């Protein structure tokens, strides 16, 4: 049970600069939901401009949108928060196309947004659970590195999973 006695002091604003030069102005409380930014803030202290050379503006924007929602929901009343967050998370991942999803996941991972990574990996898992081996290879750009015969052997051992 988090006792949220939020004494709202003057909210500090951070500038986040994405790889393509797009900048976002966000409250510190929102941005620090991301582990990576939290670390930077704690280490560098006074620096208000944070450069994120590995994240594209489009996906940084989406990650921040998620952070904002969760930060807002958490400061609201205590009860029913989980429900609201869950519902909102569902909406958030509902219409993501595959490409966006994977890039967003990479961005969230890079920024150490653990909760968001959980949400997105769950979504990816639900999308690939029924896929064929060949489809997986295509999705993740993986080449089979098995020796001839090896793959058949493994398939045979796990034949129940192919029925």
Binding-site ranges for other proteins (CB under 8 A) = 56, 99, 102-103, 105-106, 109, 117-118, 121-122, 124-126, 128-133, 136-137, 140-146, 151, 154-155, 158, 160-163
Q: Which is nearer to other proteins, 11 or 39 (CB)?
A: 39
Contact 113/34 with Cβ under 8 angstroms? yes
**Shortest distance, position 66 Cβ to other proteins, whole Å:** 17
How many other CB atoms are found less than 10 A from the CB of residue 12?
13
Which residue's CB is nearer to other proteins, number 6 or number 140?
140
**CA–CA dist 76, 143 (Å, integer):** 48
- 27 vs 102, beta carbon nearer other proteins: 102
- CB–CB of 69/54 below 8 Å? no
Minimum separation from the CB atom of position 121 to other proteins (A) = 4
Q: Is residue 123 within 8 Å of 115, Cβ to Cβ?
A: no
Q: Which alpha helices (DSSP H) does 80-128 contain, by range?
A: 81-94, 98-110, 114-128
CB of 103 vs other proteins, minimal distance in Å:
7
């Amino acid at each position: 049970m988090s006792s949220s006695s939020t004494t709202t002091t003057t909210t500090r604003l951070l500038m986040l600069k994405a790889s393509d030069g797009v900048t976002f102005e966000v409250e510190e409380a929102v941005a620090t939901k991301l582990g990576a930014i939290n670390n930077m803030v704690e280490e560098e202290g006074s620096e208000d401009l944070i450069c994120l050379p590995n994240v594209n503006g489009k996906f940084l924007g989406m990650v921040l949108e998620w952070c904002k929602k969760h930060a807002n929901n958490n400061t609201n009343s205590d009860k029913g928060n989980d429900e609201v967050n869950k519902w909102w998370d569902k909406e958030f991942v509902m219409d993501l196309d595959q490409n966006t999803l994977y890039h967003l996941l990479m961005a969230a991972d890079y920024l150490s947004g653990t909760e968001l990574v959980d949400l997105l990996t769950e979504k990816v898992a639900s999308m690939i659970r029924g896929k064929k081996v060949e489809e997986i290879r295509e999705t993740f750009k993986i080449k089979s590195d098995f020796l001839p015969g090896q793959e058949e052997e493994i398939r045979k051992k796990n034949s129940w999973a192919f029925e």
